[in-house]
């Protein structure tokens, strides 16, 4: 079944977005850990987190990251939703539709869980960058369509924000800007998830 045909790019009601759930995965040998962190947009803090460790038998293949990492992310997110809170938006460490198949890991996780999702990556995978203003912001374009934005932090580092599922590029940008002070390498929810993933990975 081609899950990519289920991807929807559509507006989201920004005023109703409070809880962002960020997800990341880390590895040590054949073991992996998936982390999900719930973060409140309005109070600017972590609400709770869940970590799941498991054996990972699927090797890394460029462009097919979702097959290796999505199962751990999905399991961790489901566990967090069961234990702690609902998610208004998912923020995934990886690309969304800025992908050769228009279906990166952020789209995969969003479609499987039927949640709005945003992809955040530190490197471009697919598409082109078009500068639009002087505010350290550029368009991320695939086949003539805007699928996201490229933003710079306070130190000149870049993040690539792309639509995953059930969100528009403009709304994805607004959500990221609400939870990123730009003094960190990643938006706050994903920065927390990334730090926790690295800490737990070393204990596998």
Which residues contribute to the annotated binding site for Mg(2+)? Answer: 24, 93
Classify residue 176 as left (phi > 0), alpha (psi -120 to 50) or beta. Answer: alpha
Annotated binding site: 24, 93
Question: 160: closest CA among 111, 90, 98, 89?
Answer: 98
Strand (E) positions, 30-179?
31-40, 45-55, 89-93, 117-121, 128-131, 137-142, 145-152, 158-165
Question: 90: closest CA among 76, 200, 197, 134?
Answer: 76
């Amino acid at each position: 079944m081609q899950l990519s045909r289920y991807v929807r790019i559509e507006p989201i009601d920004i005023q109703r977005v409070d809880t962002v759930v960020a997800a990341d995965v880390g590895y040590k040998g054949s073991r992996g850990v998936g982390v999900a962190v719930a973060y409140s947009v309005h109070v600017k803090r972590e609400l709770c987190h869940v970590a799941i460790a498991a054996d990972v038998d699927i090797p890394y293949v460029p462009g097919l990251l979702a097959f290796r990492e999505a199962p751990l992310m999905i399991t961790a997110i489901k566990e967090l939703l069961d234990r702690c809170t609902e998610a208004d938006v998912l923020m995934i460490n990886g690309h969304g539709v800025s992908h050769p198949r228009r279906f990166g890991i952020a789209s995969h996780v969003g479609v499987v869980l039927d949640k709005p999702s945003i992809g955040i990556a530190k490197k471009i995978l697919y598409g082109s960058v078009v500068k639009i203003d002087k505010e350290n912001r550029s368009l991320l374009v695939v086949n003539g369509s805007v699928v996201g934005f490229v933003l710079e932090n306070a130190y000149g580092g870049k993040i690539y924000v792309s639509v995953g599922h059930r969100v528009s590029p403009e709304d994805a940008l607004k959500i990221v800007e609400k939870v990123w002070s730009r003094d960190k390498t990643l938006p706050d929810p994903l920065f927390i998830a990334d730090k926790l993933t690295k800490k737990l990975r070393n204990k596998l």
